[in-house]
Amino acid sequence: MTIEPFVIFEATSAILLVVALVFLVLWLIARFGNLRQRAVRKHAELDNVELRISLDEQTARLRIIRELHEVTINSVSLMISQADGAKYSGDQDPTAAVRAVAGIADAARSVRADMRRVMTVVREGEADVAPQPRLKSARELFRVMREAGLVVEFEETGDRFEMPHGAEVTVYRILQESLSNALKFGGDGTEARVTFTWAGESLQVRVDDDGVRATARRAGLDPNEVAQQRGYNIDDDVNALTEVLIGAGITEMRERTALFGGVFHANALPGVGFSVSAVFPDLKHHNGIHGVNLDA
């Protein structure tokens, strides 16, 4: 029995097609596995960055509590001495007892203020047990976010100054939350511009992203044409500027900014994306309680 060449050709082609499909499926599986491993590796790397700096933050908190505790002990010791003095001198010199009581009242107010400061630090530690970074970790954060698919541009103007560790944590967390939101809602290819503006003792942190335009680009559309078709007007801009946004991330950034005497603002940019701004008028000496330069 003779097999026609055409039949042989068809059989061979079918076999080759099956083999090609098998290789294609295997390649897709391997590709998906590699992408998944990259994503897991990126998340692990980000976690590692935060874990490396957790000890510094916890140590800083403990140091603040210890120092305030020592101040409180000294104040209580002073109150005891004044009370003993008032007890022994009260019978002979009533005015001395009055002065001692006044001193005890002043010392008690000071102790109360110090205890409130301790509780502020303790509550912050209880509410946020995650690792706390330094501002120098921001470049590492930018690198990780770029690998995750975000296009990050950084611009800095003015003379940078040293700031309290707590303030560095606040700025870092604002950057982290803003960039994470840009990637989450804008997706791959979203461009985020981070701007630091230093002036005297103040700092403005601003993060602007083009998540809306990035979504259009991924869909193969022209963002400018989409904006024209949508027909954005001045009412959209007014609503974006006056709208009070809520949410766990927004609330946390706002509270962190207020803790250091700053003003926080977040709003959508119609047809573009989202903008976050935190302005700290006296960040250089602010320790989360006051902004007085104690070295002056």
**Under the phi-then-psi rule, with left for phi > 0, alpha for psi from -120 to 50, and beta for the rest, what region is 247?**
left
* Cα atoms in the Cβ-side hemisphere of radius 13 Å centred on 127: 10
- Ordered strands of the 151-157 beta sheet: 151-157, 191-199, 202-209, 273-280, 263-269
pLDDT score of 249: 84
Residue-wise pLDDT for 101-157, tens only, equals: 777 777 777 777 666 666 666 666 555 554 567 787 888 899 999 998 999 999 999
User: What whole-number percentage of the chain has pLDDT above 90?
Assistant: 22
pLDDT score of 280: 95
* Contact status, residue 51 vs residue 131, Cβ threshold 8 Å: yes
Look at residues 207, 226, 217 and name the one whose alpha carbon lies nearest to residue 271.
226
How many residues does the structure list for the chain?
A: 296
Q: Is the pLDDT of residue 266 over 90?
A: yes
Which CATH architecture describes the domain 135-280?
2-Layer Sandwich (3.30)
Residue-wise pLDDT for 227-240, tens only, equals: 776 665 666 555 65
User: What whole-number percentage of the chain has pLDDT above 70?
Assistant: 63
pTM of the model: 0.54
Mean pLDDT to the nearest integer, 197-207: 95
User: For the chain, what are the domain ranges?
Assistant: 54-127, 135-280
What is the Cα–Cα distance from 74 to 79, expressed in whole angstroms? 9
